[in-house]
């Protein structure tokens, strides 16, 4: 899938996802380029169809885009449950376990996904893998003073670890929570649930990008522009 095909696929799955939202819903608004198309389409439906919804963003970027397109924004202080959460993913395995966090918002994304009755991952076919870790590292959000110890412990688990550096400024990427991110590349993750718990328990770790058993389904855009629904096997 070339760049133009991938962009078309992202648009197709984003628009498709926005059609799953109905009046009165409280919707988790994910972060990233694919979900941005869904957010923009929801804004169009609000303006042109009178759709009445509220959006709970997973990042400052998602909140800003939501406000720009006219989605009424709510905070998690105001809700105990969301009807639906829409978000992208970096990898999806056959059991619908995910790696997320290339955009650095995985901790907030996980909070929002956990509150949703249905959490739907929006991806193109290139994101489907047999085992998590085949192509993408696991982002781990770490207290800055704990970078050294956490890096060492991740390496003992078999990962190649790299501190994520900012592109447009000097220094590491800083999350919305003020933490840093290390990317832990595993050759193949066979025990996803076990690794999930192991990393989560490391002192200094806020959270990580493994989403285990959280997705209700995935919407997958193919090269020809069609969108199919993938359920766990």
Q: Report mean pLDDT in 10-residue bins for the chain, 233 residues.
A: 79 94 97 93 97 95 96 92 96 96 92 96 93 96 98 97 88 93 94 97 98 96 87 81
- pLDDT (0 to 100) of residue 13: 93
Q: Strand 116-124 to strand 54-57: parallel, antiparallel, or no bridges (unpaired)? A: unpaired
CB 218 within 8 A of CB 96: yes
Give the three-state DSSP class for 28: strand
CATH of domain 138-204: 3.30.70.260
Q: Is 81 a catalytic residue?
A: no
Which of these is catalytic: 91, 109, 141, 162?
109
| 114-133 residues labelled b (16+ CB within 10 A) or e (exposed) | ebbeebbbbbbeebbbeebb
- Specify which residues 141 forms β-bridges with: 181, 207
CB 210 within 8 A of CB 140: no
Give the three-state DSSP class for 124: strand
**Both tokens assigned to 52:** 């009445």
Q: Rounded to whole angstroms, how far apart are CA atoms 84 and 183?
A: 28
Question: How much of the chain is in helix, strand and coil states, percent to nearest 5?
Answer: 35, 25, 40
Give the residue range(s) of CATH 3.30.70.260 domains in the chain.
138-204
**Matching residue, tokens 């290139």:** 126
Q: Give the pTM.
A: 0.93
Note the residue count of the chain. Answer: 233
**Matching residue, tokens 């290339």:** 102
CATH class of residue range 3-129+213-225: alpha beta
Contacts of 182 (CB under 8 A, 6+ apart): 139, 140, 142, 147, 150, 151, 154, 161, 162, 163, 164
Q: Rounded to whole angstroms, how far apart are CA atoms 89 and 201?
A: 23
What end-to-end distance do the CA atoms of the chain give, in Å?
25
**Kind and range of the H or E run holding 185:** strand 180-185
Give the residue range(s) of CATH 3.40.50.1360 domains in the chain.
3-129+213-225
């Amino acid at each position: 899938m070339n760049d133009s095909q991938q962009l078309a696929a992202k648009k197709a799955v984003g628009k498709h996802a926005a059609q799953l939202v109905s009046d009165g819903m409280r919707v988790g608004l994910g972060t990233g380029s694919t979900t941005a198309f869904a957010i923009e389409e929801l804004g169009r439906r609000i303006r042109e169809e009178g759709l009445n919804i509220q959006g709970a963003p997973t990042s400052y970027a998602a909140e800003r885009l939501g406000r720009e397109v006219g989605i009424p924004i709510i905070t998690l202080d105001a809700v105990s449950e969301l009807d639906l959460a829409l978000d992208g993913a970096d990898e999806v395995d056959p059991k619908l376990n995910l790696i997320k966090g290339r955009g650095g918002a995985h901790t907030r994304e996980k909070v929002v996904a956990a509150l949703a009755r249905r959490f739907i991952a929006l991806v193109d076919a290139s994101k489907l893998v047999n085992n998590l870790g085949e192509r993408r590292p696991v982002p781990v959000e770490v207290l800055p003073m704990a970078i050294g110890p956490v890096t060492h412990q991740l390496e003992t688990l078999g990962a190649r670890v790299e501190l994520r550096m900012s592109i447009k400024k000097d220094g590491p990427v800083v999350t919305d929570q003020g933490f840093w991110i290390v990317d832990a590349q595993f050759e193949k993750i066979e025990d996803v649930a076990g690794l999930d718990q192991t990393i989560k328990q490391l002192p200094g770790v806020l959270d990580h990008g493994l989403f285990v058993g959280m997705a209700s389904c995935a919407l997958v855009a193919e090269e020809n522009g069609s969108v199919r629904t993938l359920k766990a096997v």
